[in-house]
Structure 1
């Protein structure tokens, strides 16, 4: 009798359970009693281990997808007994990166100098191979790598990776990095480029077994402990797909921005992650600027109107004067709460093309025709005169 497995881990367990029950029924009919010895214990180790929650700001170096993938693996993983190995084309990188994110494993790009060295550093024993890429040879003192092909068929892939998948999500070309950034973790969705969706009804390709019971799978493993205080900032370049997949697999949050950290939305997104370590990839600006902006953004503090830019597209709309002195300007024509409300209304109705920022210009000195006791021709307002305005402005930021 052939057992035909249609699902992932759930189907595998069901098939084994059916076989055990059938055996029990046959033996029970003959003897009336069955005594079974316990199955031998199977040691299950972690598939990978992350580098641990760190701190600081770094930028990944690399000119190719393969180099960036290695840099990301070094940044996020201390070891990985199992690694996903993919070709360099965007479609396979996306597929491999999403599998890596599902399994919590790093993904490397084949045919890149340094892949063998990285596999040795990670102490890898098994590689999940996409697209039939050639598995690199390790040093003579290292054991051979076990290569497990990743089938194109979704049902067969579930059996190989030991995970049930809810389906595929098609991604438009150019949106690969953004799709990985938005991928929920843990995930059960496979990301594929539009037009490359697989089907469970597709005929097996050369080397693939029609019977799912014959499909080789990955060894059982435990997921790595995800990083909880890491964030990756990327410009979304196409050569970063595998690297971003590795970051997501490690648990890092991802912020995609083509304006570095000058974009208020990116600053807000990074601050929401509350990271202790920030990694940049792609065109994120000069290292010194990026380091400063990343540290400030991670603190969650922004300027009025959002972001870290004082000007940019911001338009400052406001009132000028001194509290309690209407003769010095419109700001002093009403009390503090009424002034704040008036400022908000002015900004809302200004028709500014950019971001209108309500602004109060406080006069703290007033020119005098005669010198005061200190010989100065400037009369200074006391701290008590302006502190209520400063407190109100701070609360409104």
Structure 2
């Protein structure tokens, strides 16, 4: 009897502990399985690296406590082996160090060897007795090909599932390559089959539920093992936050495994964010990646600081959408309307705290933040700290950072030294202070399982951000953008744009500002997107 699932995710697994079910061994064939326990955030583990041998063994240990048989394959024939793994519901292992020990752990009685010879990989020869007792069936890695272990004779190689191979397995042509081919398989289908049909199989056990595997398609043998256990397979980018499909899978699963090539140090925290199911305006949990922004700039409590404050909240949201609409015909990227809200305003007087900056009450900004979120618009909180520092001011508004669609902007023009007065010169910020903000916000994002947040750095003179080549770009919790917000004639603005790009940190995004009154003339949407490189963020003041 062909089984659907032989044994469960191992109870000793690091992150899947307590989520196991065990196949019955009694003569009556009864079995009992404990389902996967539901949790708010799915438990997660990562099978990653460059070794397909290690990945296949780890997957077997994650998904199977025991198995009557296994598929062992050469590295080059993982797809064929994975198809057999899914057809027989047993693990697939890439031949190499540790494989015979894993076969012993599983308690297998038979092995289908695909394009490889099974030998004791223990230097002490401790597994020779195991190999002597195994029923080893050899299979050549050709469609429909099979060979009995004791005959050494290859079959006819036909692929119709009727001549050669196990008649309980339908042999089919691969539909595509790699993961796509594996996912296209129906129940009981494989790309090859052994000559034998008398394999001992366990009693039927229902496939796992609530378990998803995110993968880039590497380590196909390991993926075959996961599919054999009934896990849902989801093609995933390196960063699970970058795909709506991955986010949906993570948010609906109780247990998530990642099977990827290479190292993925950030997988677990990125998965925690993805598992919330929250997406940013425009989709996914990343700020960019096929998205561009058109923003209104100003304060919701006064029209004096920009167009954002020239109308009430509903009309502001509507106006942002109207400003964004013409840009949609100019790019294949998703255009996201946005609001850049000045929350601390540079002041001509010292004020009670002596910092020459007026901090608006949080209640002023919540109505627009929430209305923008409901309309699918992004929000940026703009800081003009005066003699204060950026981090101190940002921390005062941490309550607003809890909104997934809210980022921040630093305006060094209004960052004063301890003895400086407003309007005496253009301000500046040292890169150490910027990096302090970057790491604070990145930590906040990670600790609160939030989507990536945008940090805008306003600049129209090189001196405004000192030593910007040392900008910390190591934190994928945030996206960094330099915003050229100078005003005036278009030749002057173009020169500023070119100057700012010289020796700029590689990999940052770029923003452009259009001024209704101060630009001579203000660019049209078509002219704005003719700027090279095309800006990812455009604001209007």
Q: Same fold (TM over 0.5)?
A: yes
Q: 1:82 aligns with which of 69, 88, 91?
A: 69
Inter-CA distance 357–43: structure 2 relative to 1 (3 Å threshold) = same
Inter-CA distance 367–146: structure 2 relative to 1 (3 Å threshold) = closer
Residue by residue over 1:177-216, the C-alpha shift from the partner in whole angstroms, topping out at 9 and shown as x without a partner, is: 2332x347x7344357xxxxx9xxxxxxxx96xxxxxx54
Native 8 Å contact 2:35 2:209 kept in 1: no
Q: 1:71 aligns with which of 55, 58, 61?
A: 58
Q: 1:144 aligns with which of 133, 138, 150?
A: 133
Inter-CA distance 335–116: structure 2 relative to 1 (3 Å threshold) = same
Q: How do residues 99-178 of structure 1 correspond to structure 2 at under 5 angstroms?
A: 99-110=84-95, 112-131=96-115, 133-136=116-119, 138-140=127-129, 144-148=133-137, 151=146, 153-156=159-162, 160=166, 162=168, 165=170, 168-172=172-176, 175-178=177-180
More helix, by proportion: 1
Native 8 Å contact 1:49 1:80 kept in 2: no
Q: Which segments of structure 1 move beyond 6 Å, counting only runs of 4 or more?
A: 48-54, 371-376
Native 8 Å contact 2:36 2:210 kept in 1: no
Q: How many equivalent residue pairs? A: 324
> Structure 2 regions of 5+ residues with no counterpart?
3-25, 121-126, 140-145, 147-156, 377-541
Inter-CA distance 375–279: structure 2 relative to 1 (3 Å threshold) = closer
Native 8 Å contact 2:174 2:181 kept in 1: no
1:98 aligned to 2:122?
no
Per the alignment, in what secondary structure is the counterpart of residue 233 of structure 1?
Answer: strand
Per the alignment, in what secondary structure is the counterpart of residue 108 of structure 2?
Answer: coil
Distance 1:373 1:88 in 2: 71
Distance 2:357 2:49 in 1: 56
Q: How do residues 213-232 of structure 1 correspond to structure 2 at under 5 angstroms?
A: 216-232=197-213
> Structure 1 regions of 5+ residues with no counterpart?
1-7, 10-40, 193-197, 199-206, 209-214
Native 8 Å contact 1:276 1:298 kept in 2: no
Distance 2:164 2:205 in 1: 20
Distance 1:301 1:99 in 2: 37
**TM-score normalized with structure 1 length:** 0.66
Per the alignment, in what secondary structure is the counterpart of residue 166 of structure 2?
Answer: helix
Distance 1:114 1:161 in 2: 32
Q: Which residue number corresponds to residue 181 of structure 2? A: 179
Q: Which residue number corresponds to residue 336 of structure 2? A: 357
Inter-CA distance 119–377: structure 2 relative to 1 (3 Å threshold) = closer
> Higher relative CO (CA 8 A, sep ≥ 6), structure 1 or 2?
1
Q: How do residues 8-27 of structure 1 correspond to structure 2 at under 5 angstroms?
A: none
Native 8 Å contact 1:235 1:257 kept in 2: yes
1:320 aligned to 2:307?
no
Per the alignment, in what secondary structure is the counterpart of residue 234 of structure 2?
Answer: strand
Distance 1:157 1:243 in 2: 29
Offset, 1:389: 1.1
Q: Which residue number corresponds to residue 6 of structure 2? A: none
